[in-house]
Amino acid sequence: MSRSAKNPGNGCRTRASVPPISATKVHRSSSVASAAGSSKLASSRPALGIPPVATASTILAIAKEVGEMLRGVPYVRAISGVILEIIKIKEEVRDNKRRCQELIDKVIRRSDTILSGLKKIGETPGKEGLKDLEADLVAYTTLLQDVYAALLQCTSRKIADRVDRWLNRGQLLDDMLRLERLLDDFRVNFSDNRLVQIEIHMNTLLGRAPSNGRNVHRPILPPKPPFMYGRELEKAAIISTLVGSSPARIAILGAGGMGKTTLAVSVLHDPQVIERYESRYFVACDGVTSAELLLTELANVLRLPRDQLDENMHDLVLASFRRDPVVVCLDNLETAWDNPQSRRAVEDLLMEFTDIPSLALLVTMRGTQRPAPSAGWSMPFLPPLRSLHFADAADVFRQISGKMDDFAEQMIKEVDCIPLAVTLLGHMVQEGNETTASLAKRWTKERTALIETGGEDRSSKLDTSIECSISSPRMLADPSATDILALLSILPDGLPNREGMLDGLQRHLPPDVNLRKAVSTLRRVALVHCETLVNTPRLRLLSPVRHFAKANLDIPSRLRTALVDLYIEILEDGRDYSDPRSHTFIPAELLNIRSVFAEAYGSGDRREVLAKASIMYTEWLVYMGSGSEEIIQLGIQSTPDSEELLASCFYWLGKLCMRRNDIEEAHHAFARAIELHVQLRDATGEANDLFELGCLLLWWGKLEEAEESFKRALELHKAEGDLRGEAWDLLDLGKLLMRRGQLEEAERCTINALDLFKRGGSLLGQGDALRRLGGVYLRQDRLDEAEHSLYEAVKLHRQTSCVLGEAHDMRRLGGLYMWRHQLDEAEISFITAADLHRKSHDLLGEANDLLNMGELHMLRGRLSEAESALNHSLRLHLQIQNITGRANVMQNRGELHIRRNQLVEAGISLAEAVELHRQSGDLLGWAKDMQKIGEMHALMGDFDEAEKALSNAVELHRQACNHAGQAYGLKSLAKLYTQKGKPCAAKEFLVRAGELKPRSSSTGIDIGLRLRDLDERCRLEGSGYSV
């Protein structure tokens, strides 16, 4: 039974009007039954000597003639009757006329081929073999009935029916495409195979004499591809080998869908190849599963005399290749070669081919292995085809669909620029049933199942193409390969291909799973490739293969457990993020760890172990300054019975949210952690929570609440004898006092913290305290003491190999040198700080260094360099989702535009900075934005708007307890009122500014204000790593 007969719901809702089958139902022959799973190109089709028939009248005449000639063969008349109804219905079609006409034309062409073949056999005396065709003819009649039913839906004039057709037009068009594919499959399997077999059999019975003459036919090739992008180098290399002096033996390898066939056909149509070879043959090996079938296909393509094939086929094929220069392409040869039972015979046949000097051999195969290694393949080997570069993939999509937009770019990247996937997507858009936006939306749910154009073969459906590789004999021969493929599909960044990683995973795997053998198998069939354009080579799956495997392959629980245990081991070994060795492997695996843990949580096993591992993972996210809280949230949801573990999870959730500028969520998390630690009577845990809450409140600008939190943490740490905790409490309490302008009190707290670190023997703590003390001295204009403290901090951090601490010290020194207007020294310090932050993988630190560099370049009038540094800083802040950092960059962009007299652009940048600073609760940043906006309006002569913005700046500085900022804003208002001709009001503002006692500097108050709040600008770096 044909596929359409088995599935009447494929768009044909009724067969009430379809001409019925008059004979009894018979079993379908195996040759046509395989039609659903294979298709062959025209080049594999034997010539029956029948010219093509293209008109409806002619096909009806042939149908009538065949019906009379084969009156004793059932169903021939039934076929003729259905064809007549299909042709008659053409004039009644109301909707989808173009698609219906295409389907009717295909029925005529395919029926022409089938009926002409039957007619030729019917002209031969003795028709005993035709009785074997009954099942095939039933299947074809059923298929034609499905076609008639689909066409019938497009004929009704009723409004309701037409509305229904319009609503279901996508499904109807898909059904028509599917029926076209079934017609193609039937023609290949019935006409090309079944009729030929019967013809040969009948000729043998009749004792026909062998043909003495050589049949000359122009070889049929697939049509030349209308375009090909991104394979120019490969095509040139193949052609160069083909036209060279040595016999060419070329294998085009690669994963499914990489465009191997397209490349091969394009080469066969190249003028140089046409000139070099008298004959060019293309053999589609999709259904070829043995050396014998390969010879049969070659004989069909070569048009060899069929009456000689039974005994002499092998010799005739080889003899045909010895006459003249000939190039043969064996497309998809893996179908025959993959079969272990036939591999040796196929390779022997290939060896015989390569012994023929006049024969050039071009083979396309899935995978990375060449068959018959000793066959003398041309050197250098053609590397396996990879995905296209994005620009080339975009050209393919644009050429097919005529469109290109952001959604198209997104989809092309989602499918890893695989040529087949991009081509199918282009056709889906070109058909008009989908838009790029709708495809992008569907992709998030349907993934690879989305990408198909109505057919079921691997050139029309991406899932089928992938499944062909997964179900290949080479995969089936390795019992672990599919399981390892499923396991690797969890890893979005692939598995590091290094000894320690593979051995580590093997150690956790069950003894019966051979990891290296499975990886070797996966690489040979090109389901996995090794990416080498990275610091550590990684075993990766292309995006569509990964999505297909995740959706369709089950991961054995014992393999999932092994992968979880491997990554827990990695986290435990690299828990010290101050150790540079940890940075060689942990940061690159964070995305993989997230995916592995999320998958493991879904299984519901080992919840407590996973929760502890999730805390270690989140510690790294906090350190790196980026990442999602998904995993720590899963830990919270899965450990309701362990309050101690739950408290730790909330603590690290709070720190992570603080790094991500999520103030409300961070506040909630710390509050829950405090509540749980109080219930557990864990004073140290409560103190640490209170300290982090104080840092959050300080960042939030809630200074009184922050001070209360720090003092409560200090009491608890003192009671517990925790010198290090007490020192950090004092250090950040000093930071708060500095925000208020209470510099003497801030100095006292910082010195006390330094003493506690000394008593506790913490060199790292001492280094951090000395850096903070340098900041206090800088605010007090005690520049020599500030420099001395910072140099001492650098010494301690170098002594303890703390790269991150030294990086913060160098940035602080850069600020000091800017303060002194030693701009060369400042630039060196900022560059050194950025290098150190980069070395320690601190993206936030590097982003802030670049921000300082942008400010420095503006001071020196190097505006292009300033713009470059600010743009780089912005990219990093976007990467780590740092809202405050983005706001600071936009603020400086605004100033840059002001310096360039681009006041409209300045207003846009500063407005964005205001919104971001407001969103993050950063009063100081917001105040500076308003200051800049006021200065911009003053330059534009808009004094009213300038006064409004400057007054807002003064008020925001007051709320943030920033006396220096208030003073600067008041002086700006005084200058504005002087310009407005109001000297009395200007004098009043100057008096108010003087009462706030802002410090003066030989380098000017503007530079001073740029640096006074350096602590605030970098406050997201966390208590343990803060500047």
Cα gap 205→190, rounded to integer Å: 21
Write the pLDDT tens digit of every residue in 238-285.
999 999 988 999 999 999 889 999 999 999 999 999 999 989 999 988
| pLDDT value at 762 more than 60 | yes
CATH of domain 232-375: 3.40.50.300
Share of the chain above pLDDT 90, in %: 43
Which residues in the chain are classed under CATH 1.10.8? 390-466
- Assign 213 to helix, strand or coil: coil
- Cα–Cα distance for residue pair 375/279, rounded to 1 Å: 22
- CB neighbours of residue 341 within 10 Å: 9
Look over the chain and give the mean of its residue pLDDT values, rounded to a whole number: 81
Collapse the DSSP code of 715 into the 3-class scheme (helix H, G, I; strand E, B; otherwise coil) and give the result: helix
Band (1000; pLDDT cuts 50, 70, 90): very low
Digit-coded pLDDT (tens) for 520-546 = 999 988 899 888 766 778 898 888 888
Estimate to the nearest angstrom the gap between the alpha carbon of 122 and the chain centroid.
58
Residue with tokens 């700080």: 833
> For tokens 């936030």, what's the residue?
844
The band of 681, judged by pLDDT with boundaries at 50, 70 and 90, is: very high
- Cα 773 to Cα 761: distance, rounded to the nearest angstrom: 18
- List of residues 6+ apart from 620 with CB closer than 8 A: 571, 577, 586, 587, 590
Q: What is the mean pLDDT of residues 922-938?
A: 90
| Residue 1017: pLDDT band with limits 50, 70, 90 | very low
Beta-sheet pairing, 495-496 with 538-540: antiparallel
User: Which pLDDT belongs to residue 75?
Assistant: 63
CATH 1.10.3470 fits 471-555, yes or no: no
Q: Of residues 801 and 494, which shows the higher confidence score?
A: 494
Write 161-166 long-range contacts (CB < 8 A, 24+): 162/94, 162/95, 165/95, 165/96, 166/95
Where does the chain hold its CATH 1.10.10 domain(s)? 471-555
**CB burial string 369-389: b at 16+ within 10 A, e below:** bbbbeebebbeeebebbbbbe
Nearest residue to 358 via CA among 271, 507, 263, 249: 249
Looking at residue 448, its pLDDT comes to 78
pLDDT the model gives residue 443? 83
Strand-pairing partners, residue 361, are: 249, 328
d(CA 834, CA 828): 10
Q: How confident is the model at residue 197 (pLDDT cuts 50, 70, 90)?
A: low
570 or 443, greater pLDDT: 570
pLDDT the model gives residue 49: 32
3-class secondary structure, 412: helix
In DSSP notation, 303-318 reads T--GGGHHHHHHHHHH
- Among the ranges given (148-157, 193-202, 850-859), the one the predictor scored with the smallest mean pLDDT: 193-202
Q: Tell me, what's the pLDDT at 167?
A: 61
pLDDT tens digit sequence for 716-759: 999 999 999 999 999 999 999 887 778 899 999 999 999 999 99
Q: For residue 293, what are its two tokens?
A: 């079938």
At 980 the three-state DSSP class reads coil
Q: Would you state the pLDDT for residue 374?
A: 85
- Token pair belonging to 447: 């993934």
Q: What is the pLDDT of residues 552-585, one digit of tens each?
A: 999 999 999 999 999 999 999 888 776 777 877 8
Q: To the nearest whole percent, how much of the chain has pLDDT over 70?
A: 79
pLDDT of residue 98: 67
Helix, strand or coil, per DSSP, at residue 977? helix
Residue 1003's pLDDT is 36
CATH 3.40.50.300 domain residues, the chain: 232-375
Q: What is the pLDDT of residue 947?
A: 92
* Single-letter residue type at 519: V
| Helix (H/G/I), strand (E/B), else coil: 95 | coil
- Total Cβ atoms within 10 A of residue 696: 23
pLDDT at res. 452: 74
Give the long-range contacts of residues 926-930, CB within 8 A, separation 24 or more: 926/956, 927/952, 927/953, 927/956, 927/957, 927/960, 927/962, 927/965, 927/969, 928/891, 928/953, 928/965, 928/1009, 929/887, 929/891, 929/894, 930/956
Q: Name the CA radius of gyration of the chain, rounded.
A: 38
Q: Determine the average pLDDT of the residues in 114-123.
A: 70
| Residue 871 amino acid letter | N
How far, in Å, CA of 699 to CA of 182, rounded? 67
Long-range contacts (CB closer than 8 Å, 24 or more residues apart) made by 821-826: 821/1002, 821/1003, 821/1007, 823/856, 823/859, 823/860, 826/856
Nearest 5°: CA angle at 395, between 393 and 399?
A: 120
pLDDT of residue 741: 74
In three-state secondary structure terms, 330 is strand
Q: Which residue has the tokens 């108010």?
A: 992
Please, which pLDDT band fits residue 48 given cuts at 50, 70 and 90?
A: very low
Mention every residue, 6+ apart, whose C-beta is less than 8 A from residue 594.
617, 627, 628, 630, 631
Residues 390-466, CATH architecture: Orthogonal Bundle (1.10)
Where do the DSSP E strands lie in 239-385? Answer: 249-254, 279-284, 326-331, 359-366
Of 590-594, 683-687, 789-793, where does mean pLDDT reach its minimum?
A: 590-594
Q: How far apart are CA 830 and CA 814, in angstroms?
A: 6
235 Cβ neighbours under 8 A, 6+ residues apart = 228, 263, 266, 267, 270
Assigned token pair, 47: 């010539």
